[in-house]
C-alpha cells in the first residue's frame, strides 16, 4: 500500500514539475521599456518604421502558438514582404543568438535587423550573410560581445540615428514599434496581445457582427499590397452569419449602381425606419436613402453599422467570421482566372485566421488601442 502511495505521490510531483516547466517555457516575453527604447535609438531616422522585440527566443515560441499576430507586422510594412522573405533564415539565426533585444526596421521595400551577439555567433552570421549575399556590419563592444546589423540593402545601414522614444524605463513591454511617426507599446499575454499608442481609447463592443469602420478607405486598403487603386473615402463594413452591410457615407450612388441593385425585381418595397427594400436578381437588398451608399442583406445588418461621420479607424472582427468571408471571396475569385492566385492565398489564410477568437481596435489622431484575443 505504501508503495502505491509513493508511486502516486511521485506521479503527482512529476506532473506538477512538467506543468510548471511548460508554464515558464510558454510565458509571454517581456523586457524593460528603457532597454527596448535604447535599442530603437540606433535605427536610422529616415526609416519608415521599426520593431524592437525583447527576449526574441521567447517571442518566437509565443508566435509559434499565435501566428496571427504576424499580420500586424505585414500590415505595418506591406511593401517589405519580399525583403522579409529574403532575410528570414538569417533573421531567425540572429534572433536565436541575440544577447538582448532584436531590432528590425524597414524603408520602402527593404528591411534590416540588428542585435548584440557573442563573438562566435558574429563570425557565423558573417559567413551566413556572405552566402545569402546580404550586407552586414559589426562592431565589437567592451564586454567581448559584438553589435551586428544586416540588411537586404546596404543603404538601410547608413544615416544618422533617430531620437530615443519616450517610454517609462521600468515598464515591462514585449516590444515597442514605430509606424510612421506613431510609437506603440506592445504587451503579450498568454491569450492576448495589446498595442497601445498615445492616449488609449475604449475598444468597440465585442457583441454583434464583425464591423470595420474607417474615415479613409484608401489608407486602410494601403495596408495590403494591391494594383487596384482604392478611393480615399469614409466607409463601413459589417459581416457575419446574419449577412453583410456596406456604407460609403460620402459617396452618392450613380444610376448604374441603382439599376444593378434593382435589376429584375420589385423596387422600393415599403419598410420602417426610413429603410427601403429591393428584391431583384442580386437577392434581397436593403438600403438607407439619403445617407450616401448604404446597402445590406438585411435591416439588422444595416443597423449594425454605426452612423457617420466616421473618425479614425475602429473595428471588431471575429476570426471564424473572417475565415468564412475569406472562403466566400475565394470561391468568387476562382471563377476569374486573373485572380486565382489571390483566391488560393485566401484559402490558405482561412484556417489561420479562424484560430483567432477576436480582434478589436480603435485608432484616433491622439491615441489608440489594438487587441487580439485567442
Task: Express each pLDDT in 357-368 by its tens digit.
Answer: 999 999 999 999
Q: What is the dihedral of CA 353, 49, 189, 325, to 10 degrees?
A: -10
Examine the domain organization and report whether 92 and 40 are in the same domain. yes
Examine the domain organization and report whether 218 and 287 are in the same domain. yes
Closest-CA residue to 44 (of 113, 109, 93, 117): 113
User: Look-up: residue for cell 540615428?
Assistant: 161
Q: Which residues contact 127 (CB under 8 A, 6 or more apart)?
A: none
Query: Taken in order 155, 158, 164, 170, is the CA torsion positive or negative?
Result: positive
Examine the domain organization and report whether 230 and 319 are in the same domain. yes
Question: What was the pLDDT predicted at 24?
Answer: 40
User: Look-up: residue for cell 517610454?
Assistant: 167
Question: What was the pLDDT predicted at 362?
Answer: 96
Distance in angstroms (rounded) separating the CA atoms of residues 304 and 298 = 10
Examine the domain organization and report whether 155 and 254 are in the same domain. no
CB 174 within 8 A of CB 53: yes
Q: Is a pLDDT exceeding 60 seen at residue 298? A: yes
Q: Angle at CA 91, nearest 5°, toward 85 and 96?
A: 140
Tell me phi and psi for residue 154, to 5 degrees.
-65, -25
Per-residue pLDDT averaged across 3-17, rounded?
Answer: 50
Whether residue 152 is contained in a domain is answered as yes
* Residue 53 burial by Cβ neighbours in a 10 Å radius (0-12, 13-18, 19+): buried
Per-residue pLDDT averaged across 115-130, rounded?
Answer: 94
Range of the domain at 120: 31-194
Q: Would the pTM count as exceeding 0.85?
A: no
Q: Is a pLDDT exceeding 80 seen at residue 35? A: yes
First-to-last C-alpha distance (Å) of the chain = 45
**To the nearest whole percent, how much of the chain has pLDDT over 90?**
48
Examine the domain organization and report whether 222 and 269 are in the same domain. yes
pLDDT greater at residue 31 or residue 254 = 31
Q: What is the DSSP string of 139-201?
A: EE-TTS-EEEEEESSGGGG-S-B-PPP---TT-EESEEEEETTEEEEEEE-SSEEEEEEES--
Closest-CA residue to 195 (of 212, 213, 176): 176
Question: What was the pLDDT predicted at 286?
Answer: 81
Residue ending a domain, among 194, 222, 240, is 194
Question: What was the pLDDT predicted at 81?
Answer: 84
User: Look-up: residue for cell 443597423?
Assistant: 303
Residue ending a domain, among 146, 167, 194, is 194
Question: What was the pLDDT predicted at 15?
Answer: 46
**Model confidence pLDDT, tens digit, residues 141-152:** 888 899 999 999
Whether residue 17 is contained in a domain is answered as no
Examine the domain organization and report whether 246 and 184 are in the same domain. no
Average pLDDT over all residues of the chain? 84
Name the domain count of the chain: 2
Examine the domain organization and report whether 136 and 171 are in the same domain. yes
Amino acid at each position: 500500500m505504501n508503495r502505491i502511495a509513493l508511486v502516486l505521490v511521485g506521479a503527482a510531483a512529476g506532473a506538477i514539475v512538467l506543468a510548471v516547466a511548460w508554464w515558464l517555457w510558454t510565458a509571454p516575453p517581456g523586457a524593460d521599456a528603457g532597454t527596448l527604447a535604447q535599442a530603437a535609438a540606433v535605427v536610422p531616422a529616415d526609416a519608415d518604421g521599426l520593431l524592437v522585440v525583447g527576449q526574441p527566443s521567447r517571442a518566437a515560441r509565443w508566435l509559434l502558438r499565435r501566428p496571427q499576430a504576424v499580420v500586424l507586422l505585414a500590415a505595418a510594412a506591406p511593401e517589405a514582404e519580399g525583403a522579409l522573405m529574403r532575410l528570414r533564415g538569417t533573421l531567425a539565426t540572429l534572433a536565436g543568438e541575440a544577447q538582448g533585444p532584436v531590432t528590425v526596421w524597414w524603408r520602402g521595400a527593404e528591411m534590416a535587423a540588428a542585435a548584440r551577439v557573442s563573438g562566435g555567433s558574429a563570425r557565423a552570421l558573417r559567413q551566413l550573410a556572405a552566402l545569402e549575399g546580404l550586407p552586414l556590419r559589426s562592431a565589437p563592444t567592451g564586454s567581448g560581445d559584438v553589435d551586428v546589423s544586416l540588411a537586404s540593402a546596404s543603404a538601410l545601414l547608413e544615416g544618422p540615428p533617430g531620437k530615443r522614444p519616450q517610454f517609462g524605463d521600468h515598464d515591462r513591454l514585449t516590444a515597442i514599434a514605430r509606424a510612421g511617426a506613431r510609437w506603440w507599446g506592445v504587451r503579450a499575454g498568454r491569450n492576448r496581445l495589446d498595442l497601445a499608442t498615445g492616449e488609449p481609447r475604449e475598444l468597440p463592443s465585442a457583441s454583434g457582427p464583425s464591423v470595420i469602420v474607417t474615415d479613409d478607405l484608401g489608407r486602410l486598403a494601403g495596408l495590403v499590397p494591391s494594383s487596384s487603386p482604392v478611393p480615399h473615402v469614409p466607409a463601413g463594413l459589417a459581416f457575419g452569419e446574419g449577412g453583410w452591410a456596406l456604407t460609403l457615407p460620402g459617396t452618392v450612388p450613380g444610376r448604374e449602381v441603382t439599376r444593378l441593385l434593382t435589376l429584375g425585381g420589385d423596387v422600393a418595397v415599403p419598410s420602417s425606419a426610413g429603410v427601403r427594400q429591393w428584391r431583384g436578381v442580386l437577392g434581397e437588398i436593403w438600403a438607407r436613402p439619403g445617407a450616401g451608399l448604404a446597402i445590406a442583406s438585411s435591416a439588422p445588418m444595416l443597423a449594425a453599422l454605426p452612423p457617420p461621420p466616421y473618425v479614425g479607424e475602429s473595428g471588431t472582427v471575429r476570426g471564424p467570421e473572417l475565415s468564412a468571408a475569406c472562403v466566400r471571396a475565394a470561391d468568387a475569385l476562382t471563377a476569374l482566372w486573373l485572380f486565382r492566385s489571390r483566391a488560393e492565398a485566401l484559402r490558405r489564410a482561412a484556417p489561420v485566421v479562424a484560430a483567432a477568437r477576436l480582434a478589436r481596435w480603435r485608432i484616433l489622431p491622439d491615441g489608440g488601442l489594438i487587441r487580439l484575443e485567442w
